[in-house]
Amino acid sequence: MDTGAAAERLVESLRVIGPVAVAFSGGADSALVLAAAVRAVGPDAVLAVTADSASLATAESTHASAFARALGVRHVAPETAELDNPAYAANGRDRCYFCKSTVLDAIMAVARDHGLAAVATGVNADDAVDPFRPGIRAGDEIGVRTPLRDLGMTKVDVRAVSRHWKLSTWDKPAMPCLASRVRYGVTITPARLARVERAEVAVRAWLADAGLSTRDLRVRDLGDTGRVELDPHLVDRPGIATALTEVVRAAGFDGVELAVFRSGVLNIEADAAKLRLR
C-alpha cells in the first residue's frame, strides 16, 4: 500500500466520520487513528478515551496521556468494571468479548456526554483475520467505527503511515492488556494482574541495569509459575535465567520459566491442549 496515499485515505475516512471519540490504548494502531482524526477535523473535535482498568499497565496509561496531550486532544480515562463481570473473570477463550463489551459501552457513554455520536477504534486489517479476537465482535455489535480495518490497513501499513507522520508510536512494540498474559482458565483478579505488571516492570529494570535490551517482553501467568518471554538472543545468555528467576519470584511468583517470546502463545497452547484431549 502506498504510504502517502494510505495516509490521505485515512484522513479522508475520519473526515467523513466527523467529530469522534477514539478508544485510545496508547498503542500504535489507536495512536494513528487519533492522529488522523486530529488532521481530519481538528483537535477540538476529537476526544481520546483510555479505559482506567486494572488490565492496563500504568506505563501504558501514562504514555497515552502524554501522546494525547502532545496532539492537543482532550483526554479522559473513565473507570471500567470488566472485572466485576464473572464471565470476564473466569478467563475463558471469550474473555476479550466481555472486556470489550464493557469498555466500549463505557467509552460510548463518555462520547455521548461530550456530544460525540461516533466512536472509533484501532482495529486493523490483520486483527480482522486473527481467529483469536472475540473483542472485535463486541465492537461490531456496539457499532464502533474501524477506519483502519475498513481501508484494509495492516500493521505494516500502520507503522509506515505513523513513521511518515513522525509519530513516536511508529515502532512501538505491541502491548496487549495484562489479562492477555494469564493462562486461560486461571481466574483474573486485580492482584494477579498487579503481579504480572510488577514482574514485567522488575524484569525491564533488571535488563536496563544490565545494559541489555529486548524488543518483546512478556511475563505470562501460568498459575503459580511466571514465564518470562524475551527476544531469542537473550534466552540462552549465561546467568540470565538465574537472575530473572530471583526477580520474578520477588514479584510474587513461586516458579519461574524462561522462554523465547511468541505472540499469542497462550492461544496456541490452549488449542494444542484441546487437540490432546480429543
What are the DSSP calls for 174-216, one per residue? P---GGGGBPTTSPP-HHHHHHHHHHHHHHHHHHHHTT---S-
User: Angle at CA 136, nearest 5°, toward 152 and 266?
Assistant: 105
The predicted model scores a pTM of 0.93
**pLDDT 10s per residue in the chain (278 long)?**
799 999 999 999 999 999 999 999 999 999 999 999 999 999 999 999 999 998 999 999 999 999 999 999 999 999 998 999 999 999 999 999 999 999 999 999 999 999 999 999 999 999 888 777 788 889 999 999 999 999 999 999 999 999 999 999 999 998 889 999 999 999 999 999 999 999 999 999 999 999 998 999 999 999 999 999 999 999 999 999 999 999 999 999 999 999 999 988 998 888 776 656 55
Q: What's the maximum distance between 2 C-alpha atoms anywhere in the chain?
A: 57
Contact 73, 43 (CB under 8 A): yes
CA distance 99 to 80: 9
What pLDDT does 278 receive? 58
**Residue span of the structural domain in which 24 resides:** 3-164
Indicate the Cα dihedral angle 79, 85, 86, 92, nearest 10°. -90
Q: What CATH number has the domain bearing residue 111?
A: 3.40.50.620
Within this chain, do residues 66 and 149 fall inside the same structural domain, yes or no?
A: yes
Boundary residue ending a domain (132, 164, 196): 164
Q: How many domains does the chain have?
A: 2
CA distance 266 to 154: 23
Within this chain, do residues 120 and 200 fall inside the same structural domain, yes or no?
A: no
In sign, the C-alpha dihedral spanning 13, 19, 25, 26 is: positive
Within this chain, do residues 133 and 193 fall inside the same structural domain, yes or no?
A: no
CA distance 247 to 23: 34
In a domain, 169, yes or no: no
What pLDDT does 273 receive? 67
The CA-atom distances, in angstroms, between 65 and each of 58, 114, 149 are 11, 18, 25
Contact 254, 225 (CB under 8 A): yes
Within this chain, do residues 50 and 72 fall inside the same structural domain, yes or no?
A: yes
What pLDDT does 130 receive? 76
Left if phi > 0, otherwise alpha if psi is -120 to 50, otherwise beta: which for 123?
A: beta
What pLDDT does 126 receive? 93
Q: What CATH number has the domain bearing residue 209?
A: 3.30.300.10
In a domain, 154, yes or no: yes
